[in-house]
Each structure stands twice: as structure tokens, then as C-alpha cells.
Amino acid sequence: MSGEQIIATEPIRGLSSAEAAALLARDGPNLLPEKPPVPLWRRITAQLRDPLILVLLVAAALTLATGDWTDTAVIMLVILVNTAVGVGQEIRADRAITALSQLTAPTARVVRDGSQRLLPAADVVVGDLLVLAEGDIVPADARVVESAALLVDESALTGESVPVDKSAEQTASAGTVVVRGRGRAVVTAVGIASTTGRIASLMVKGAGLTPLQRRLMDVGRLLAGVAVLLCVIVLTLGLVRGQPLELMILTAISLVVAAVPESLPAVVTLSLALGARRMAARHALVRRLAAVETLGSVTVLATDKTGTLTEGRMVVRSMWTPTGEATATGSGYGPDGEIVFGGSPDDPGLTGLLTAALLCNDARLGREPDGAWTALGDPTEAALLAAAAKLGLDRAQVDQRFPRVAEVPFDSVRKRMTTVHRSPDGHARVICKGAPEAVLQPAVLADDAALLARAVERADRLAHAGYRVLAVASADLDAVPDAVREAGLTLLGLIAILDPPRPAAAAAIAACKRAGIRPVLITGDHPGTARAIAVELGVIDAGDRVVDCRDPGREEAGVYARATPEQKLDLIQAMRDRGDILAMTGDGVNDGPALRRADIGVAMGERGTQVARQAADLVLADDNLDTVVAAVEEGRRVYANIRRFLVYGLSGGAAEIAVMLLGPFAGLALPLLPAQILWINLITHGLPGVALGGEPSLPGAMTGPPRSPTQSILGGGLWQRVIRISVVLTAVTLGVAVWAAHTGRPWQSMAFFALGVTQLGVAIGSRTRPGSTANPMLLLAVAGAFLLQLAGIYLPPLRELLGTEPLAPGDLLIVTALSTLGYAAVRLDRVLHPSPRARHDADRHDQPDGPGVTGHQS
């Protein structure tokens, strides 16, 4: 089904039941396309495609081929745990999203067979005659055929904060909300052919690899190549020395496993799962585990305006009368806040202005179950009611004193609304409220030209500052007129209204800038409104350029206004093509394609539409933008911990390889048995390695720029650090082995114990905050691994399995003391070779006016 369809509809009777049934069978239900549930096998396959998991699967297959069931079981256990954690998190997130999701319009009122019926929105068909009233959600695209002051909120589709007047022959789009008036409309498109459906169809592009996945894939390829090369070298050297073929095959396989930090997938998955759990506690639901880390890579935060940076509720901020002016504080539709007078607090002009705005008003204020105030009707008119309440005006009392006796509703041609009220003394009062260009003209007002010029100049200033401006005028008559006259009125004043920024938005934008993340505003709203909000929140400076997407030749800027969903996609793709890692926040249907195209999409959970939530990687259940900043910090913590584990795991693996390669040249025929290498990897890369993923973030994590999108996960000096630490581990292990061999001690068992325990020293030295009680699980894991290493040389069953001999107490103390060199190597390396992050923090600490952050990330 495509495009708008025209079905002949009798304007009073609507379709017949038979016609509707035939159309439903032809076009299908009025539903948006939903992503089919992912089968369990597909989730598992996606986890197993991880490069490091593939390397482990190959190693498991080789050990299985040689009949080494024990090593096969250990490797498969690591794969099983990693896969189970990843699949479980995805399933939990999808279930939570399903619980949040609701149909855009669960029911619809239509005319069929000449009578009104309430139907499920899914049963609406092309040609149905819709009956629309205040508060209704339009269930499908429709052409208006009758309109009585019909006003529709299209912000979910266009990003425009101000509702749009709909008259006959105009189109009402699916998913928009009737905020005032009533009307009838003939359905022209349903489901995927509707405006909402066409936007949803833009999201067919699947999610690409995250920065972390791309980096780990590079590491996986590198390690796989190294493993194959080592396998060939060791196998060749062993056969040349006359070692048995089966033993050398097992040794080569052991070195393959040593070259791969097999706990890395588990560490990555657990770190991401812990990050997702922390985010859930802060009302942020992670739909994909990798999204947690992706936020740590973000260089650009692109955000929508309405409902994301702003509250999505109109508020009166400024009032002007010919005799004075005032500002209003507070947010939302409640009476909280006050009127701050610029002149005399007894100025009767302001009271008259808000009294008139209260009378010439069709909106109402209601209360949610949680006590929050909400608008019933046009949100602009609801803002006027809230401002009047702040001045102490009571709606019921004012309406009782000045009952309405006639009106001319607002329409898009006149751009004003006029009401007539009976005064307490029996006279009449005419009130006109509307756009300045419709009210501030001699044909309507009897005021002198100088006052009109002042009012027009003030209205223009407010409009350029991003406000929606209303002009209010009135006239007192001797009696109620036979017809409403919109002439000879006296100007009461101007009222400036806006959708105010969220309280936490400015702090969130400032935090992003401190973290080196560039904020960009992309909105469908007017350029003046977009500029005002962007300047107030600090997205741009007052003199910066705002790009109107309707103009050709869009340049790079901090604010893009009047952007359509397609243009949002183009802008996001352009930023990604420049090498940026981009996060996009939004809540409307028009944001859905952009959320899917971005490296990470962030949707609002409370105000967000179903399309936005389904497209996002992260859903903010409380709509708090500040949570995005916390997620960025969490992502940086996760990435830092993954790099921390790589230093730990790769330095130990490199030391194992070096010991096996250099040992024969030092007179040690086979320094370590295959089972001993696998045991060391099991106890060092197991619980201690996984526990490193729980290290806390550093105080300076959000005070520097994000890492370069092109930087390898082994970049920034990490692989050099791996080599330096592995040199120390190798020297300690070979030194102990050579000394023990020359003194008649069990040298292989001493080398086995030294290599394992020295690696545990590296784990302790890799802590974020040495000496603190943070992450106690690491200390417990290291203690447990140390006990297991002792068991490997003292428990008879393990000694037989590993081929070890017990050590004398003195020898044990000597090796344990030397193992502290692993801890010293890490701490000294951080001092002599600080990471770029540490150097950045040190520079900031040296600045007289800068905050003193001394932590760094490795």
C-alpha cells in the first residue's frame, strides 16, 4: 500500500460495515510495522560471532581433537557464561520495552452505517469518517471535512511546539493530538502508508557495529594472527629439539590459549551488564549492552528540542502593558511561581491583561493521579490560565462575574479569537486575543499610532527572542451586541510564551562540553525559537549561526532548525562521515529514523513515542537528559576497565609466551607444561580478570575529551605498557627457574608458581584507586586465586593433574616476595609513562584556576 488513497465516503453515513470489512481485508490493519521477535538461536549466534569467542571456539575444537577433555571443558565454560549473560540482558531489555510500548491511538470514533462507533484503532480503514474531539489521538492520516476551532498538536511529527489550526480540506496526520475544538475527517492513509508509517519505514537500516565491537574485532584479528604464528614457531622448534609430536601439539595449543585473553569476552560482557544495571537504577533502560560503552566514545551529542531540551509544556515568561511590564517564574501548568513586576505591583493594566486572557480562553487545567498539573486543551491557553493563577485570579469567580454570551472561534485565516461577556453591571465586554499581526492593526484597535508602534516593536523583539507572542485587546459596551464586532478595541498588552528548558538541561549541556562532547541541536521548530533555547542552554553562543534547513547549502553549525526527518538523517550521516561518534536524543515520531541512524539513539520513556522508543538503544524512563551524561561517564568507565584488563591479561599472556620461547635458550627444555599454562590462565584471567571490570571510574573521567574514534583499543601507549610489564614478569619467572635449576630445586614448579602469583600482583597494581575499599571483589578474587595456586603445588590430585612438586616453606616465601615485583612494575610504569589522560589531568591540576584532578585512566 502506498501514498494517499481516496475512497468515496458519504459525509454523514460514512462507510458501511461491509465496505469497511473489504477494505480491512485489502489493506490490512492500521498498525505500524513492528520488529519481529528475535529467535533465541539468532541471539546466541550473534554472541558467538564475537572475534575472541571465535578464537576460543577454534582452541576448544583443537583441544577436543587431541582428547584433552579438561581444557575443552574450561574453554567452553567461559564461552557459555559470556553468551548467557549477553543473551539474558537483551531479553530483559526487550521485555521492558514491550511493557512501555502502547499503541499510538488505541481506539477511534468513526461513523459507520450512519451511526458513531468506538473501534480499535487497528480496525480503521481508508475512507472511514473519523469523529475528532478534544483529547483524541488521530488514528490515521485524514482529510478534514468539518472543523469547529479544530487545533492539533503536531509536535511529535514536526517538532513544532505550537499547535496547528486545521480547517476543511487540510490534512490531520496519524499520531497527532486534538487539543481544542472538534471536527470530522475522512481517512486517506493507514498503517505504513500514513505519515507515521512512512517515517517508521526510514528505520529499516540495521544497527552497525559499535566502536567497541570494531576495536575488539581488530584485537581479535591481531590475536588470532599472533596465535597462529606462535603455534607454528613453537611446534617447529619443539620438533627440531626432538620433542614428541603430541606434546608439542598440546604446547602449541596452550600457547594459542595463552595468546588470547579468554576472559576478555566475559569481562566485557560483565562490565557492560554492570553498567546497564547502574543505568537501570537511574531510570535508564539499556536495550543493547554495547550501547553502554558506545556512550563513552561519543564526540557529538545531537538532541531534539521539544520534550528533550525543553519540558514540552508552554509557560508564560513575560508580559507587557502600555503602563508597565512583568515576568513570571515557575514551570508547568501549576500555580507555583510568582509574577515579578518591572514597575508598580499595583499596576491595574497587568491584572486587566491576565483577566482578559483568562476569559477569552477555552482550555482547562487538570490533575494527574500523581498530583501534577496538566493542560486540557490548547497548551498555549493553558499557560495563560497558569499565569493568571500566579497572580491570584480564580477562574471560576472570574467566569461567574463575566459569563460568556458569544464568541468567534480562532481560525488560521483571522489568527485571533474573540469572546463577548456580560459585565456585573449589565453592560458587555468584548475581548480579542491573537497573533500580534492580527490584533495590532488600526482596523481592530482604536489606540493611537504611537502606542501601536511601541507594541509592534516590542512584539517583534519578543518573537526574535524565540517567544510565541499573543496580543490582547478589549472594549466595554453598553449592552451585549447582536453581532460580535472586532473593531474599536483598546490594547491591553502582550503576553510572551515559550516551551521552557528542562531544569537539568543546561547542566547536562555544560557537562558535555567539559567532557569534550560537542552538543548540536536539530529541531523542526522555528529558527528564532531554536536559537533562543540553544543560547539559553549554552549549546551555542549568541553570535553563532543557526542553519535553516529549508535553505540550500547547509553548513556545519551547532543548531539546525526546520529539519524534516529525512534532513535529520542526512545531518547525522554527514557527522558520522566526518568521523564523529554520535549520540542522538529525541522523543517524537520524527526522531525515530535519526535515533536508528546514530551510533547510539537515546529516547525519552515518559513522553517519547512508540516509534522513538523502538528505534533507541537507550531509553530514559524519567526523561532526564542528565542521565545521558551519567551514561557517558559509565561508558568511559567500562572502556577504561576493558583496557585495564587488556594490560593485565595481555602482559601475562606475553610473559607466558616469552618464557616458553626463551626458556630453552636458558637450559630449560620445557619451562611449563600445557596443563600448567592453562591453570595459570584459569586462575588469573578468571575471577581476578572479571573483577577488574568492576573498578570504579576516576574523578577526572568527565573532565577531558573523548578518545579518538580512530584510536585502537591497544593505542594510547597501551601495547607499550603491555610489553614493559611482560618483560618484568618474564624476568622474574625465568630468574626463579634458572636459579632453582642450578640449586637443585623443583624449578618447573617454582616457575609455575612465580608466573601465576606475579600476575596476581599485576592485578592488584591495576586498581583504579590503590589502598581504597572500592571494588572489594577484586581483593577477594586475588586472594582466592592465590589459594588455588597454592593448591596447585600442594594438593595431591592437582599436583598429579598439573605435574607439580611441593615447595619448601623457604622457597615459597622467596617466590611470593619476588611476586610483588608485578605490583611494583604496574605502579612504577604509571609514574614513568603516564597515559595521555593522566597527562591531561596533570596539566589541568597545574593550572591556577582549574580544578585539581589527579586521577587518570589506563
Spatial separation of the C-alpha atoms in residues 252 and 227, rounded to whole Å: 9
Q: Which residue has the cell 460580535?
A: 484
User: Distances in Å between the alpha carbon of 670 and those of 476, 534, 675, 748?
Assistant: 107, 68, 12, 9
* DSSP secondary structure letters along 251-293: HHHHHHHHHS-TTHHHHHHHHHHHHHHHHHHTTEEESSTHHHH
Task: List b or e across 747-781, with b for residues whose CB sees 16 or more CB atoms inside 10 angstroms.
Answer: bbbbbbbbbbbbbbbbbbbbbbeeeeeebeebeeb
Classify 148 as helix, strand or coil: strand
* Helix, strand, coil fractions of the chain, as percent rounded to 5: 50, 15, 35
Taking the C-alpha atoms of residue 6 and residue 127, their distance in angstroms, rounded to an integer, is: 7
Which regions of 715-761 does DSSP assign to beta strands (E)? none
Q: Let me know: does 380 contact 361? Beta carbons within 8 Å.
A: no
DSSP 37: P
Continuous segment of H or E residues that includes residue 119: strand 115-120
Strand, coil or helix: 188: strand
Which strands sit side by side in the sheet containing 315-321, from one edge to the other? 339-341, 324-328, 315-321, 490-498, 468-477, 428-434, 416-422, 404-408
> Three cell numbers at 561?
532548525
Residues 6+ apart with CB under 8 A from 244: none
Which amino acid does the sequence have at 55? V
Q: How far is CA 477 from the centre of its chain?
A: 57
By C-alpha distance, which of 474, 563, 661, 682 is closest to 158? 563
Three-class SS of residue 811?
helix
Burial class of residue 646 in the structure, from the number of CB atoms within 10 Å of its CB (0-12 exposed, 13-18 middle, 19+ buried): buried
The DSSP bridge pattern shows strands 559-561 and 546-548 to be: parallel
Displacement of CA 413 from its chain's centroid (Å): 41
Known catalytic membership, residue 123: no
Burial class of residue 280, CB neighbours in 10 A (0-12, 13-18, 19+)? middle
Helix (H) or strand (E) holding 149: strand 141-153
Catalytic residue among 141, 153, 165, 304: 304
For residue 131, what is the DSSP state?
A: E
Integer Rg of the chain from CA: 35
CB atoms within 10 A of CB 670: 17
Cβ atoms of residues 502 and 526 within 8 Å: no
Catalytic residue positions, numbered: 304
